[in-house]
Each structure stands twice: as structure tokens, then as C-alpha cells.
């Protein structure tokens, strides 16, 4: 016969109310008690009645997070930050990866997993302008990233153009003039690459430096490998950069590797700046100067907005863009460990 | 009125059979067709009937993957490999992170998400000997990692002790004698740390090198930061290592950073070997020599075993440990880019 909640309570030596609290994911239960209850649930093979749970709270306590790729360190660290923010609000996160494939991105919005989650934090790569209607879903949704603006949902984004401009101005302030851009998506008018390229060009323009197309390194995906390849292309065409602004840290670390393999000194010959402030750049040799886009605040804000909507918060879709900063390391200033600096 | 599968088919301009195939996750559907169907599903807000789907195939086509932490690059890359392996078998993956907290690890085994998945690939950190019964669950389960052996389920593991021994012997073969171990968990008798320490000590013993406790650097969590701290401790107590075997790559990269900050040359003064073969070590300066534990084969094997069990494969629990290799980089041999070498 199937185990009941009473059986679980008896075995764990707690009240049925306590079992119910554990099952419903209420915070403020002592870890030892939770552990006893969960062990009893496992031992008795008690099947949590999901429907009953939904009837009681109207919610499952689970939210979804959909990202392009966990092998991109930024998204792995973002997932970590979202999980931490969610836990502090008593929520559990399940993660899905769509790989930037349009069909997976649509499927995640509509798939059966949505029956089990209270809402979704969603960072698409393939959807874009014209797809706003797909975001009109019958559950709470918070959008991340730079693919769709003015959708019908809350949106937490980075200050891409301003931050890219500040990073480029920082390099100009160091006296660098031949600044390569690594991670360009030629012909693309939406997304992070286009916005960061805008900021880069605006900074050059304001400083009276003519942009040189030979200094723009193309990289469709933003991995270490593609950063190294784009850097190699720029160098092979003889463009002779004295600095690199890479559109994310993985690209920057790949580019820095390529420079070093060729015997160019970072930062003396070529200064390098990335974007994202991933942990890896605190330990690279040299440490990586980077834009800190406010990942933890992005995660906290997204979870807070979503949690509010799941509890019925009404009102117009919100758009939030946390402040950014520049973290200065040895890749632009010789011998420097990484530390915060004002943009 | 709720949209039906017929409505979706009409809107997408395909047959009901095609809609059904898309919903059921069959492979071999043209991407453009899938996309049209998924878009129609989204536009009509068609709710996929999960029960019907289950009645039809007996499965959901979704598997779970539970890992300690996605901010540990190994697990992020493992997740990526599992997703890739699953996709090639037509399966979707949802990921949960337990942070090595016992209550979360138990909850993942028993929680309501299991109703939606066909099975679980499970890598615990807190469960250990004595918890085998918790793995006796009513759904297919494949265990990863080194915490529990001889459980009632399929288990894919690394060759920890042999690989650690080979890594240490490789350093001995380079003439290094004062080899630090970074990542030690004092007093712990199960898990990766204990197994890798065994291999390290066995290699020293076979070479007639007396182990020096001052060369063993403790690190509970295996991050870059803790690797740097453990390295600092070893150096601060005056142990003067000429090599480091770090129990994972994140530790190794942190240790290498600490050595370099102190002006020690890698590999001339101190050679460094890691474990895991994460992508980051291909681009570090110098590139990182590491144990390749066969991550992709681990992922493929785990998915294959799980998929087989979800389709009713019977038989005794299997235990699989893919072969390992050593990838040699510049952290042990000056100027070397990373390349494969026989262990």
C-alpha cells in the first residue's frame, strides 16, 4: 500500500504538519528535521502529491531558468547566482539549456516542464525582434539578455552600450589607439554583439579615432577558442593592435592566449579588456581587466520580479538594468591584481 | 476554448501526425517543420497533454541531471556533455544543483520533479557509505562520482586512484621529488579526495620518496580560490615544493596563480598538474598539464545506461570506469601547448 503523510510523520518522529511544511518547501525548518523527514520520505517511497500541493499554495516553489550554454562560464556563474537568490526566497531552480537553437527556445516556452514550475527566467539567443508575441505566455516570465526589447514581460538587462563605451574609453585613457574589437557579429543589428560594438565605436568616435575594420575580429560563438581564432585573424591580416576589447571574458582569455603564444606581451604590447567578470579572470596570468555587468544583481532582480509575479504582483512590465563597473587587472596595468575601479 | 492538436496542425499547415511527432519529441523532423509547429503551439497557447503523452510512450523524453555546483567548471562541462549525449538519443535534460547539501541531495531523489522525468543521472557529494538504500528508488537512476560504491544502481566513475598515481609518477619522471598535493580532505576516507590522495601516496611510495605532510594542502571545496589558499599555506609553512599535483583543475589554476604572484616560475621552479581537463586549462598561461578523466565518455555512458533502463533494460547494476589519459601542457614542460600523452 502506498505510504501516506502520516506514515512519513511517524517514521520521522515529527508531526504531520512538519512533514507538510517540508514537502511544501517552507523555509525556517531546522536542517536536521528536514533531513529526517526527507530520509523517511525516501525510505517509504512516499510520493508527494503534486496536485494537492498546488491546490494548497497555488504554487510549486520551483522556477525554471533557461540559458544558452552552461559551458560558457558566464551562464554557469549566472545559474549559480540565480540558484542562490532563489534559495534565499525559498525557491528551487531547474535549469534548461537551449544552445541558441530557435526550436529549443520555443519549446522551452511551451513545453510540459512549465506545468511543474511557477515561472521562468529566460535568456534566449535565437529569438529576436518580431518574436515578442511568443513571450505572451500564461505563466510568469522574466526575460534576460539583449535579444528582444519591449516585450510584454519583465526584463533584466545589462548596460551593454554604456559599459562597452566605458571599457573602450578606459583603454583610450591608457594611450592606446589601435584597439581591436573581438566578438563582432557582422551584419547583425540586435543582441549583445551589436550593442557592444556600438559602444566601442562611440568611444572611438568621441576620441577622434577612426575605426579600422581590420581591427574588428569576428566570432559567432563567444568561447575561448573562437576568441583565440578571431585574435589570430586580426594579427594575420597585419592590423597591429595595441589593445583588445573582447565582448566577453572567454573571448578575452582566448585572445590573450593567442597573443602570448605569438610572443606579444600583455599588457606591455597589447592591453586586453573583457566583459562579464567571471571568476576565471581573477586567476589568469595576467589577471583580466573586465566589465562587471552586475551579474549577482541581475540574478537577484530577476528572481525577485518573478517571485513577485508568481504571488500575483500586477502592473506594467518592468525593465531593469543594474549599474556596471570596471575591474582593473594585470592585462591592462602591469603587475596589478584585479581590483574594482570606477568606470 | 482551449486549442486542440487539430488547431495547431491547421495553423502550422501540417498533419496532426506531424504535430504529434513534434510533441512527442521524435527525431528526424525537419527543423523548419518543428519550428512551424512549435510556433503554432505558442501562438495558440496549446497545452501539451502530458498524461496523454505518457500513455502513448510511457515516457516523457526528459531526464534529470543533478550536480553539486555549476560554478565548478568540471560540472558545467559535464552538464554540457550530458546534454549533447542526451540530444543524440532524442532526450532533453533538466539540471538541478544540490550544492553538496545532504537535504537537497535527498530531496532531489524524492521530489516532485521526478514525476516529469524518465530517470536521473545523479552526482552526490554529501551522501556516502550507509546511504545505499536511498538510491533504491522507483525510477531509473545512474550514479556518478565517488561517494557511494556498491549501490543498487548503475554507476559511472573515474579511475581516480590509478589516474592520480599516473599523474604523480609523471612528475617523478620529470625528476621532481617534493611534490605537493592540493585539495586534501584530512580524515576523510571516502570520495575523490581520499582516492586521489591514495594514488599520490602510492606513487611516492613506489618511487621510495617519503611523503611529507607539510606538502599536503587542505581544501574542502575545490575552487580556484581555495587552490590559491592551500598553495599559500604550503608555501608559508616553508615546505618548498618543486611540483604540485592538484586534485582538480580549478585548484591547479588557483595554485598556479599563487605561485606566479610570488615570483615562482611555472614550470621551471614548480611544475603543476591538475585533474579534469577543463577547457580553461587549454588557454591558461602556461597551459595546464592535467588528467583527462574521460568526461565525454562518462556522459555518453551514463546517458546510454539510463536510456536503456527507461526502455526496460534489465540485469545487474553495471559499474563503468572509462580510461583516463594525461594531457601535457606548459605547466610541466616549458613552452608546450597542451597535447595528449600516454599515461
The span from the CA of A201 to the CA of A301, in Å, is 30
Chain A neighbors of B108, CB-CB under 8 A: none
- pLDDT at position A53 is 46
Chain B neighbors of A70, CB-CB under 8 A: 70, 76-77, 79-80, 83, 95
Q: What is the pLDDT of residues B71-94, one digit of tens each?
A: 899 999 999 999 999 988 888 888
CA distance B19 to chain A (A): 13
List domains and CATH numbers for chain B: 5-57 (1.10.260.40), 62-157+295-312 (3.40.50.2300), 160-292+325-341 (3.40.50.2300)
- pLDDT at position B151 is 81
Q: What is the pLDDT of residues A246-276, one digit of tens each?
A: 999 999 999 999 999 999 999 999 999 999 9
Record: contact A260-B285, CB cut-off 8 A: yes
CA distance A205 to chain B (A): 33
- pLDDT at position B343 is 41
Q: What is the mean pLDDT of residues A131-151?
A: 88
Record: contact B76-A95, CB cut-off 8 A: no
Record: contact A62-B337, CB cut-off 8 A: no
CA distance A94 to chain B (A): 5
Task: Name the helix (H) or strand (E) containing A181.
Answer: strand A179-184
DSSP-derived letter for residue B214 is G
Q: What is the pLDDT of residues A1-35, one digit of tens each?
A: 567 788 889 999 998 888 877 766 565 778 788 78
Q: What is the mean pLDDT of residues A198-218?
A: 97
- pLDDT at position B168 is 98
Question: How confident is residue A178, by pLDDT bands cut at 50, 70 and 90?
Answer: very high
Q: What is the pLDDT of residues A99-113, one digit of tens each?
A: 998 988 998 888 756
- pLDDT of A154 higher than 50: yes
Phi, psi of A67 (to 5 degrees): -130, 160
Record: contact B110-A48, CB cut-off 8 A: yes
Chain A neighbors of B35, CB-CB under 8 A: 102-103, 106
Q: Which of A87, A91, A105, A181 is nearest to A144 (CA)?
A: A105
Record: contact A224-B69, CB cut-off 8 A: no
- pLDDT at position A200 is 98
Q: Nine-digit cell at B39? A: 510556433
| Dihedral sign (CA B161, B163, B166, B168) | negative
Q: What is the mean pLDDT of residues A288-317?
A: 95
Chain A neighbors of B41, CB-CB under 8 A: 106, 110
Strand pairing report for A62-67 and A119-122: parallel
DSSP per-residue letters across A191-225: SHHHHHHHHHHHHHHHTTPPP-GGGEEE-SS-SHH
- pLDDT of A214 higher than 80: yes
Question: How confident is residue A77, by pLDDT bands cut at 50, 70 and 90?
Answer: very high
User: Which residue of A2, A35, A56, A70 is the best one to mutate when testing the B interface, meaning the one whose CB has the most B CBs within 10 A?
Assistant: A70
Question: How confident is residue A55, by pLDDT bands cut at 50, 70 and 90?
Answer: very low
The span from the CA of B246 to the CA of B255, in Å, is 8
Q: Which of A106, A98, A125 is nearest to B87 (CA)?
A: A98
- pLDDT at position A134 is 87
- pLDDT at position B58 is 59
Q: What is the pLDDT of residues B240-289, one digit of tens each?
A: 999 999 999 999 999 999 999 999 999 999 999 999 999 999 999 999 99
Question: For all residues of chain A together, what is the average pLDDT?
Answer: 89
Of B80, B92, B253, the CB nearest to A71: B80
CA distance B266 to chain A (A): 11
Q: What is the pLDDT of residues A282-300, one digit of tens each?
A: 999 999 999 999 999 999 9
Q: Are B164 and B289 in contact (CB under 8 A)?
A: no
Record: contact B95-A92, CB cut-off 8 A: no
Q: Are A8 and A42 in contact (CB under 8 A)?
A: no
The span from the CA of B223 to the CA of A115, in Å, is 36
Q: What is the mean pLDDT of residues A41-49?
A: 69
Record: contact B50-A133, CB cut-off 8 A: no
CA distance A249 to chain B (A): 12
- pLDDT at position B198 is 97
Closest-approach residue (CA) in chain B for A226: B283
Record: contact B43-A138, CB cut-off 8 A: no
Q: What is the mean pLDDT of residues B197-214?
A: 97
Q: Is A341 helix (H, G, I), strand (E, B) or coil?
A: strand
CA distance B214 to chain A (A): 24
Strand pairing report for A319-320 and A339-341: unpaired
The span from the CA of B86 to the CA of B80, in Å, is 10
* CA triple B61-A62-A36, angle to 5 deg: 100
Q: What is the pLDDT of residues B228-243, one digit of tens each?
A: 999 999 999 999 999 9
Chain B neighbors of A137, CB-CB under 8 A: 42, 45
Question: For all residues of chain B together, what is the average pLDDT?
Answer: 89
The span from the CA of B36 to the CA of A106, in Å, is 10
CA B243 to chain centre: 26
Record: contact B103-A34, CB cut-off 8 A: yes
Looking at the DSSP assignment, which residues form a beta bridge with residue B154? B142
Q: What is the mean pLDDT of residues A119-129?
A: 92
Check: complex ipTM more than 0.95: no
Question: How confident is residue A51, by pLDDT bands cut at 50, 70 and 90?
Answer: very low
Record: contact B93-A94, CB cut-off 8 A: no
Chain A neighbors of B93, CB-CB under 8 A: 96-97
Q: What is the pLDDT of residues B145-181, one digit of tens each?
A: 988 878 889 999 999 999 999 999 999 999 999 999 9
The span from the CA of B342 to the CA of B327, in Å, is 8
Q: Nine-digit cell at B188? A: 576523510
- pLDDT at position A129 is 84
The span from the CA of A310 to the CA of A302, in Å, is 12
DSSP per-residue letters across B260-319: HHTT--TTTT-EEEEES--GGGGTSSSPPEEEE--HHHHHHHHHHHHHHHHTT--SSPPE
Q: Nine-digit cell at A191? A: 543582441
Amino acid at each position: 500500500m502506498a505510504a501516506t503523510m502520516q506514515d512519513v510523520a511517524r517514521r520521522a518522529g515529527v508531526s504531520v504538519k512538519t512533514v507538510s511544511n517540508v514537502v511544501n518547501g517552507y523555509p525556517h525548518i531546522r536542517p536536521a528535521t528536514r533531513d529526517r523527514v526527507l530520509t523517511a520520505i525516501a525510505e517509504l517511497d512516499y510520493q508527494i502529491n503534486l496536485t494537492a500541493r498546488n491546490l494548497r499554495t497555488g504554487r510549486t516553489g520551483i522556477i525554471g531558468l533557461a540559458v544558452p550554454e552552461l559551458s560558457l562560464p558566464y551562464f554557469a556563474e549566472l545559474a549559480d547566482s540565480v540558484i542562490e537568490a532563489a534559495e534565499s526566497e525559498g525557491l528551487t531552480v531547474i535549469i534548461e539549456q537551449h544552445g541558441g537553437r530557435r526550436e529549443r527556445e520555443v519549446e522551452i516556452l511551451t513545453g510540459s516542464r512549465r506545468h511543474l514550475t511557477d515561472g521562468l527566467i529566460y535568456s534566449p539567443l535565437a529569438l529576436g525582434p518580431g518574436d515578442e508575441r511568443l513571450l505572451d505566455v500564461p505563466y510568469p516570465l522574466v526575460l534576460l539578455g539583449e535579444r528582444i526589447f519591449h516585450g510584454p514581460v519583465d526584463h533584466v538587462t545589462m548596460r551593454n552600450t554604456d559599459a562597452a563605451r566605458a571599457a573602450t574609453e578606459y583603454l583610450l585613457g591608457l594611450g592606446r589607439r589601435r584597439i581591436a574589437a573581438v566578438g563582432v557579429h557582422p551584419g547583425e543589428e540586435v543582441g549583445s554583439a551589436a550593442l557592444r560594438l556600438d559602444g566601442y565605436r562611440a568611444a572611438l568616435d568621441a576620441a577622434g579615432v577612426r575605426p579600422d575594420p581590420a581591427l574588428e575580429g569576428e566570432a559567432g560563438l563567444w568561447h575561448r577558442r573562437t576568441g583565440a581564432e578571431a585574435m589570430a585573424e586580426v594579427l594575420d591580416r597585419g592590423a597591429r593592435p595595441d589593445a583588445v576589447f573582447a565582448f566577453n571574458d572567454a573571448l578575452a582569455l582566448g585572445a590573450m592566449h593567442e597573443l602570448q603564444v605569438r610572443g606579444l606581451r600583455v599588457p606591455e604590447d597589447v592591453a586586453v579588456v573583457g566583459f562579464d567578470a567571471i571568476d576565471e579572470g581573477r586567476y589568469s596570468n595576467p589577471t583580466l581587466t573586465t566589465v562587471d555587468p552586475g551579474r549577482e544583481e541581475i540574478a537577484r532582480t530577476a528572481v525577485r520580479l518573478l517571485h513577485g509575479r508568481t504571488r500575483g504582483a500586477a502592473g506594467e512590465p518592468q525593465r531593469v538594468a543594474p549599474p556596471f563597473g570596471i575591474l582593473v587587472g594585470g592585462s591592462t596595468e602591469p603587475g596589478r591584481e584585479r581590483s574594482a575601479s570606477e568606470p
